[in-house]
Structure 1
């Protein structure tokens, strides 16, 4: 079914131009603080971990430094694990789950893996509780050569010297009710396409890579998270967000083809987590804990193989 509801910016059937993008940008409001919520927590980790600034976003009059947290005992003979959060800035548990993992669990892997954690890839969007950057671009469709999204380009530059050494990359996301009420309608309007309503799954699920499926790895992560929060069931069509469910709580996307963050390392084990924070059956604390549990399970599985 195609909805006749119309997003309030643009003309139906016409992709946005500069004027519509400027109108959209003018409507965005800062709702929380990257400095207070994220940078202060990173500062609190400096005694135990190395912190690297890997870029800065210049969105005049604002500037946002980009930081990654690294294992202090980095060793070239160890495999490397990348954890990313906040690629979509509004997906709160991705950011705070990554920070919780570092604070509570990262020490368990000292001397076993090198950890590289970028907890908030899109700080401007974090503050606006939005999916896009100021150019109305989705960073998680922009991880490709010559990326137009500086958030994506900066992260790719960070990992480039380490390519070939990654064992695991886990990218922490959420699927929210606002995906259906705001972000997908905005996407349809931006691209001049009709909005086709979908269904938000109630629960946690994973996105595996179509071109590098790792079913046992995905199920190990699902099993760990299931001890923290519930797993999303398939809908009446046997799908989650329009993709066939291939195993309990798992769907497939072609990571590199779509320009997704989880496709940037070439790691053997990759996944994108999707937490549902709007569920009446989950608290913010559970959502953060589910993300941290997913990271631990991903590393544990990879090291045990």
Structure 2
């Protein structure tokens, strides 16, 4: 979710007392420069293929939905089309809803859940809502199983006018859609690798000390502190609880360092932090956080949890529009 708090298991080499953690790129206490960025990129091999895993499913769905190429990324000789699917006819009399996945490319169920929703459940909402779905916002990160983009930037803190292309292209797509959005749900995961890799990498990149945290075991959601919709969030949590377990608070009644405001719910000021869920200005927004590394959850359950969350969000928003 966010770079600081929605990454949270303690890895080998980390000390809870000192916050010391050796990351193999950079010098302790010094932010990365161009050489360190190049070294980091060289340590990120392609581990799966966007053009094999994601694009063919989008192409198959294009028989039912309009495929939109809303941008293109050019990174180190590699090219990625940014793809979305939308209802072929946007009815001005219906509300708009956005589903996003893969803002952090390594959060697999966000991508697969968005696609599975389109394949299995989206037809249930035909004639009720105008759907726009961007299944994989960060394809370079998807291929490297990384939260960052090619430039070691976390898209989910940078949805603003001067953000990276992954972010600005999605903002432009949303602005091209006529009429306001009623609902936006952004599909994420909190993984063990947040603590073993990505937060140490962030500390090294920024020249900061790494302070270990704990990974919450279970599903939770993030509400907007500036536009609280507690009943909406609880409807999502209640539906997902039938699929997978909900993350309990820690001994300080927090999840990832943030106070728990209700069962499975924390809050962030979405717009202030330039998070993806803020880009539509929708009345109903939620960021899901699935825990795929749990001993009590399978990949299929994680995908199902995301699909269930999308459906619960749509059902609530449409009922209370």
Q: Same fold (TM over 0.5)?
A: yes
Q: Structure 2 matches for 1:19-58, cutoff 5 A?
A: 19-58=35-74
With over 3 angstroms needed to count, the CA separation of the structure-2 counterparts of 1:135 and 1:163, relative to structure 1, is: farther
Classify the secondary structure of the residue corresponding to 2:248: coil
Q: Structure 2 matches for 1:162-241, cutoff 5 A?
A: 162=177, 165-241=180-256
Q: Structure 2 matches for 1:240-255, cutoff 5 A?
A: 240-255=255-270
Deviations 1:125-180 (A, max 9, x none): 00000010110000111101221x11011111110133751000000000000000
- Please say if residues 7 and 189 of structure 1, whose CA atoms lie closer than 8 Å, have aligned partners that are also in contact: yes
Classify the secondary structure of the residue corresponding to 2:99: strand
Question: Number of residue pairs matched?
Answer: 304
Structure 1 runs of 4+ aligned residues shifted over 4 Å read none
- Please say if residues 163 and 265 of structure 1, whose CA atoms lie closer than 8 Å, have aligned partners that are also in contact: no
2:298 corresponds in structure 1 to: 283
1:48 Cα shift?
A: 1.2
2:139 corresponds in structure 1 to: 123
Classify the secondary structure of the residue corresponding to 1:44: helix
TM-score, length basis structure 1: 0.98
2:150 corresponds in structure 1 to: 134
1:81 corresponds in structure 2 to: 97
Q: Does the alignment pair 1:145 with 2:161? A: yes
C-alpha distance in 2 between matches for 1:176 and 1:278: 6
- Please say if residues 100 and 137 of structure 2, whose CA atoms lie closer than 8 Å, have aligned partners that are also in contact: yes
1:259 corresponds in structure 2 to: 274
Instruction: Give structure 1 stretches of 5+ with no counterpart.
Output: none
C-alpha distance in 2 between matches for 1:191 and 1:183: 12
1:90 corresponds in structure 2 to: 106
- Root mean square deviation of aligned Cα: 1.0
- Please say if residues 143 and 259 of structure 1, whose CA atoms lie closer than 8 Å, have aligned partners that are also in contact: yes
1:53 Cα shift?
A: 0.7
Instruction: Give structure 2 stretches of 5+ with no counterpart.
Output: 1-16
C-alpha distance in 1 between matches for 2:103 and 2:280: 15
C-alpha distance in 1 between matches for 2:169 and 2:269: 22
C-alpha distance in 1 between matches for 2:209 and 2:135: 34
1:77 Cα shift?
A: 1.7
Q: Does the alignment pair 1:66 with 2:79? A: no
C-alpha distance in 2 between matches for 1:152 and 1:184: 21
- Please say if residues 224 and 269 of structure 2, whose CA atoms lie closer than 8 Å, have aligned partners that are also in contact: yes
Classify the secondary structure of the residue corresponding to 1:56: strand
Larger deviation, residues 278-287 vs 17-26: 17-26
Q: Does the alignment pair 1:106 with 2:126? A: no
C-alpha distance in 1 between matches for 2:137 and 2:192: 22
